[in-house]
């Protein structure tokens, strides 16, 4: 596909998605003017293209970037359409996907197999299939796939904003800013990577779950199951991490603040208990798996040349409660505050460092301008804390590389920002300006 044809098709794709955003009724529910929705979509598009540019500039071997490796693996599966369409659909759907003749494609798709999998779901295959599916409509063109991914990311953020809308007491801008404008989330979730699917499924899951908690419906339950299934296939540990928070959101509406707090602690205690006794209860030892994954990750980053200075020291885990407990505080420090200013030796790290500082300043400002919030908002804050405590513990204890860390932690960031903003008394700020 030559450059001119690519440009024409790219403009056509953007025009179609823009028309859908302006005309489809579901995009009216947020009550944001279509022109601003298009601006937010454009932000996703720019981030998607910028992500490719960063990978092209940062990596000497262009094939090592996640976007390129998943795109090329998807092209391998898509190549079966010309040779044997039935084989393509077998690999795409996973139905009869273990037939011997398909090994030819799996061997050529370099990232179809993981060196270490521990009997867990191989989520590489999900994003490879995602790319292979859209290759049907783009003939494998990278830039057209990126435009589709930007729209998918936009939809995920939109549904997340809708889920937040019921908790912000009319301050629609709080939901929009939290869902759409966190820099790390915009950047890492807009390309053809796992994060795009994670944030899309997370947004749809939150929207359908919050809606179902308000009023049960079969269709809502179906969407919950489908979105949870996609999140499981994209990054299963994110689904496991958000489950305690979803339980908190589903607690009876008559629960007061104290009961909600006690219930949240009880849910986390149950989760920790299930985690450490998973071998006896479920027949699969999650503790041992986490330890092995961490050791393998450490060995991998130590083996590979660290040209960017992104590798960090983390406590090596042992399969004991004491070992995990001692690694917990350093894990939260890493996920919440790193990269430090002294580690910001690249533009991306500098942006992430500035983002961490902004979050910290907003939190401190919230402590100064804190307002009493309603029961439903307390529920959302506790949901966020449960999600953050579980996911950031897992990430912080197992990730010895800052580049991976800043990507893995983005699912929680919109919720953290939203929880902080709904606790700030902006009315005091307005009164102060009026006096001035």
Which residue range forms the structural domain that includes residue 79?
A: 65-140
Confidence of residue 435 (pLDDT cuts 50, 70, 90): very low
What per-residue confidence (pLDDT) applies to 115?
A: 67
Residue 287, both tokens: 């503790």
Is the same domain home to 113 and 218?
no
- Asked whether residue 134 falls in the same domain as residue 158, the answer is no
Read off the tokens for 65.
């970037």
Mean pLDDT along residues 202-228: 94
Q: 37-46, 260-269, 302-311, 353-362: which has the minimum mean pLDDT?
A: 302-311
Considering the domain architecture, whether residues 99 and 230 belong to the same structural domain is answered as no
Q: Are residues 272 and 337 in the same domain?
A: yes
Q: At what angle do helices 3-23 and 34-58 cross, to 10 degrees?
A: 140
Are residues 204 and 93 part of one domain? no
108 and 164 both lie in a single domain: no
Q: How confident is the model at residue 431 (pLDDT cuts 50, 70, 90)?
A: low
294 pLDDT more than 80: yes
Residues in the chain: 436
Which one, of 76, 56, 77, lies nearest residue 65 by Cα?
A: 56
Compare 123 and 261 and report the one with higher pLDDT: 261
Q: Are residues 79 and 90 in the same domain?
A: yes
Contact between 151 and 8 under an 8 Å Cβ cutoff? The reply is no
d(CA 432, CA 423): 18
3-class SS of residue 164: helix
Which of 140, 173, 189 delimits the end of a domain? 140
pLDDT over 90 for what percent of the chain?
63
Q: Are residues 296 and 212 in the same domain?
A: yes
Q: Are residues 399 and 260 in the same domain?
A: yes
- 213 and 98, same domain (yes or no): no
At a CB cut-off of 8 Å and minimum separation 6, what does 215 contact?
none
**Boundary of a domain, candidates 107, 140, 173:** 140
> Residues 2-41: pLDDT tens digits?
788 889 999 999 999 999 999 999 999 999 999 999 999 9
Domain shared by 351 and 226, yes or no? yes
DSSP state of 115: S
Count of structural domains within the chain: 2
Q: What is the mean pLDDT of residues 409-428?
A: 92
Mean pLDDT of the chain: 89
pTM: 0.92
**Confidence band for 55, pLDDT divided at 50, 70 and 90:** confident
Domain boundary, last residue among 84, 112, 140? 140
- 53 and 196 inside one domain: yes
Q: Which two tokens stand for residue 95?
A: 């139905």
- The pLDDT of residue 430: 59
């Amino acid at each position: 596909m030559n450059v001119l044809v690519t440009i024409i098709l790219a403009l056509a794709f953007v025009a179609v998605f823009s028309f859908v955003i302006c005309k489809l009724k579901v995009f009216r529910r947020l009550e944001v003017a279509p022109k601003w929705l298009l601006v937010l979509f454009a932000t996703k598009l720019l981030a998607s293209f910028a992500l490719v540019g960063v990978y092209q500039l940062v990596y000497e071997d262009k094939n090592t970037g996640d976007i390129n490796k998943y795109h090329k693996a998807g092209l391998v599966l898509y190549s079966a359409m010309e040779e044997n369409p039935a084989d393509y659909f077998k690999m795409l759907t996973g139905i009869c996907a273990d037939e011997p003749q398909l090994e030819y494609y799996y061997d050529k798709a370099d990232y179809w197999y993981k060196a270490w999998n521990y009997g867990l779901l191989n989520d590489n295959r999900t994003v490879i299939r995602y790319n292979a599916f859209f290759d049907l409509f783009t003939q494998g063109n990278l830039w057209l796939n990126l435009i589709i991914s930007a729209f998918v990311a936009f939809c995920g953020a939109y549904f997340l904003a809708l889920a937040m809308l019921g908790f912000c007491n009319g301050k629609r801008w709080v939901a929009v800013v939290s869902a759409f404008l966190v820099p790390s989330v915009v950047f890492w979730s807009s390309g053809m990577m796992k994060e795009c699917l994670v944030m899309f499924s997370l947004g749809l899951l939150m929207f359908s779950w919050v809606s179902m908690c308000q009023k049960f419906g079969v269709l809502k339950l179906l969407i919950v199951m489908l979105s949870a299934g996609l999140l499981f296939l994209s990054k299963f540990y994110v689904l496991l991490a958000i489950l305690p928070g979803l339980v908190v959101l589903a607690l009876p509406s008559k629960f007061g603040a104290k009961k909600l707090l006690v219930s949240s602690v009880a849910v986390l205690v149950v989760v920790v208990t299930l985690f450490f006794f998973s071998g006896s209860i479920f027949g699969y030892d999650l503790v041992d798996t986490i330890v092995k994954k961490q050791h393998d990750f450490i060995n991998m980053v130590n083996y590979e040349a660290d040209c960017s200075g992104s590798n960090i020291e983390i406590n090596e885990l042992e399969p004991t409660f004491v070992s995990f407990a001692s690694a917990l505080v350093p894990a939260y420090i890493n996920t919440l505050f790193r990269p430090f200013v002294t580690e910001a030796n690249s533009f991306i790290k500098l942006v992430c460092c500035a983002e961490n500082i902004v979050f910290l300043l907003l939190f401190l400002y919230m402590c100064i301008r804190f307002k009493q919030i309603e029961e439903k908002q307390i529920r959302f804050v506790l949901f966020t804390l449960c999600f953050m405590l579980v996911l950031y513990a897992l990430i912080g204890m197992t990730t010895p590389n800052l580049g991976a860390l800043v990507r893995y932690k983005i699912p929680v960031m919109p919720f953290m920002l939203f929880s902080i903003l709904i606790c700030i008394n902006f009315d005091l700020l307005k009164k102060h300006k009026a006096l001035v």
